[in-house]
Chains A and B, each alone.
Chain A
Amino acid sequence: MKNFLNKQIILSKKIILLIILVIVLITIVAIMIPRLKSNGLENLTGNEKIFGESALLDAYVMLDNPIQRLTTFKIKVKQVVKQESDERCDIGFMEQFMVTGDYSAVVDAYTFFGIRYASVNVYCDGSTTVNYF
């Protein structure tokens, strides 16, 4: 009887370990899917690329809720648009982000399994807005 109970305990422990292993694997996959996405800068050049880099930083700073910080695995520049005016766009915190041109950008935020949960609009004047899906 005692041997039978011991075997049962060992068996249930193996099942528990298996379940934990599966959960860990699913978690890794869920995190890796968004991580494998590009940051959207590869197709941009010149000032658009510089503004895109700045927009990524602004979007990251904007999404500052602790839960968001822990569950956002990729932010990606969806598009950079140049407006008609040619105003100097002094948007960046860092000097290398100074550009000439009135740009705006849309940056998407992705969470587990690559699900897009928010879209951040970054403007030339440094202001930002967020839309949640």
Chain B
Amino acid sequence: MKRVSALLVSTLFLIITIFAPTLFLGCGDQEEILSGGNNRESKQIEFVTPLKAESYVAVANQFNLKTDEINFQIGEFSGGYTLKSGDLRKELLSIKSTFIENMSNALKFNSEKDSSELRQNIQTALNVASQGQMFFLNATVRGSAEALLEMNQKGIATTMPDKKVIQSSNPMAAPQSSSHETWAPYKGTTTVTRNYLYNTFFFDNKAGFDSASTYESETHLYKQYANYGGFWSSNLPRAYKDTQLLDSAGLDNFTVGCLQASSIQPYKEYFAYMALTPETNIRSELWIKGQIGYRYPSWLYSLWNVFPLATTKPGMYKGTAPMAGGVCWGY
């Protein structure tokens, strides 16, 4: 092999390091591990058929699952919700009102865009939500190994690949263009308050995306300005909320991404919305950036195997938060 991926080697090393003790301990405690016992590890599961709230509650009760986070689909919009430790049924039903409340924030912004397609789509999604047409696609749950296996066997849900995925080298070079990158949005809007952030953007060129490409809409804010408020939504293809694991000391990077950038349509208005909870800093610098990445392996659609390739200039938008209203930007 011409080039040996150092990251591949290191990740293998990490996995061996983490799991070796478990394997060795297995000699003495094999019975307990095999039986599942009280071992309730956190797993991501994907429902074979999208479930409605009542159906999911029944499944969670039947298999004794504790739900940490759940992702939903309303019309063409997807999103995620972090559950508090309350009544599951009540919380799932409250997602509808959370969606309506947050998307109404998006509608409030920029009244001159009344006729925009996105605005109409949001209105449609609000109608769909109020009719209760909300489906759950996948969830992060804690349950016994047997329960997860049984769900798989009964065709209810499949366990998504483990987070510790092997990855390696760069399959493509970061594309560039003379004006703006061939994968970056050319215009958009941004509004960041103390309670939410809402970015919309249009692409005019997607030549830089191939079948394994991913795209992320990033919002950089000072630490202590806000935390993730437990709700996000987007109409990007195969949208996801990126983890803020070990974000650096200086800033928070609130990111909604797209696992299948090749499906992005030119001149369609996309949005990324995230609820925020205010922190101690009342003001922050704000940067809006885009990032192209790639999935490795390309057949796996998970945020854990998305690797960055290039970011745009911060010139997409640079300002301060909170904002009194939204701003339009061109890039």
Total number of B residues with any Cβ neighbor in A under 8 Å:
55
Whether the Cβ atoms of A131 and B308 lie closer than 8 Å is no
Chain B min CB distance to A60 (Å)? 5
**A64 and chain B: residue at smallest CB distance:** B308
Q: A86-99: contact bitstring with B at CB < 8 Å (1 yes, 0 no)?
A: 00000101100000
A36 CB–B CB distance under 8 Å? no
Bound Cα distance A67, B130 (Å): 39
Chain B min CB distance to A31 (Å)? 10
Known: A115-B6, A127-B311, A132-B170. A67 touches B304 (CB 8 A): yes
For A1, the chain B residues whose CB sits under 8 A away are none
B235 CB–A CB distance under 8 Å? no
Which of B88-96, B113-121, B249-257 contacts its partner?
B249-257
Known: A61-B251, A68-B307, A129-B174. A116 touches B313 (CB 8 A): no
B50 CB–A CB distance under 8 Å? no
Whether the Cβ atoms of B243 and A20 lie closer than 8 Å is no
Bound Cα distance A117, B307 (Å): 13
Give the contacts of A33-52 with B (CB-CB under 8 A): none
B5 CB–A CB distance under 8 Å? yes
For A113, the chain B residues whose CB sits under 8 A away are 10
B245 CB–A CB distance under 8 Å? yes
Bound Cα distance A118, B248 (Å): 18
Chain B min CB distance to A125 (Å)? 4
Bound Cα distance A67, B308 (Å): 12
Whether the Cβ atoms of A62 and B308 lie closer than 8 Å is yes
A57 CB–B CB distance under 8 Å? yes
Q: Which of A13, A68, A93 contacts B285 (CB 8 A)?
A: A93
Whether the Cβ atoms of B248 and A117 lie closer than 8 Å is no
Whether the Cβ atoms of B308 and A115 lie closer than 8 Å is no
Known: A13-B28, A67-B165, A130-B174. A62 touches B311 (CB 8 A): yes
Q: Which of B20, B242, B293 contacts A23 (CB 8 A)?
A: B20
Whether the Cβ atoms of B11 and A133 lie closer than 8 Å is no
Whether the Cβ atoms of A115 and B9 lie closer than 8 Å is yes
Q: Which of B250, B253, B311 contacts A128 (CB 8 A)?
A: B311
Bound Cα distance A118, B253 (Å): 21
Whether the Cβ atoms of A19 and B220 lie closer than 8 Å is no
For A70, the chain B residues whose CB sits under 8 A away are 14, 245-246
B312 CB–A CB distance under 8 Å? yes
**A117 and chain B: residue at smallest CB distance:** B6
Interface centre among B243, B253, B307 (most CB of A within 10 A): B307
Q: B4-31: contact bitstring with A at CB < 8 Å (1 yes, 0 no)?
A: 0111011101101100110011011000
For B255, the chain A residues whose CB sits under 8 A away are 64
Bound Cα distance A66, B245 (Å): 6
Bound Cα distance A30, B11 (Å): 12
Bound Cα distance A69, B163 (Å): 13
Bound Cα distance A23, B15 (Å): 12
Can you offer 26 A-B residue contacts whose CB atoms are under 8 A? A12-B27, A23-B16, A60-B248, A61-B247, A64-B255, A64-B291, A65-B167, A65-B305, A66-B243, A66-B303, A71-B7, A71-B11, A71-B14, A93-B287, A93-B314, A111-B7, A111-B10, A117-B7, A125-B314, A126-B314, A127-B312, A129-B311, A130-B170, A130-B308, A130-B310, A133-B169
A117-B5, A127-B312 are known; give 8 further A-B pairs, CB within 8 A: A16-B25, A16-B28, A19-B24, A20-B20, A23-B21, A111-B10, A113-B10, A130-B309
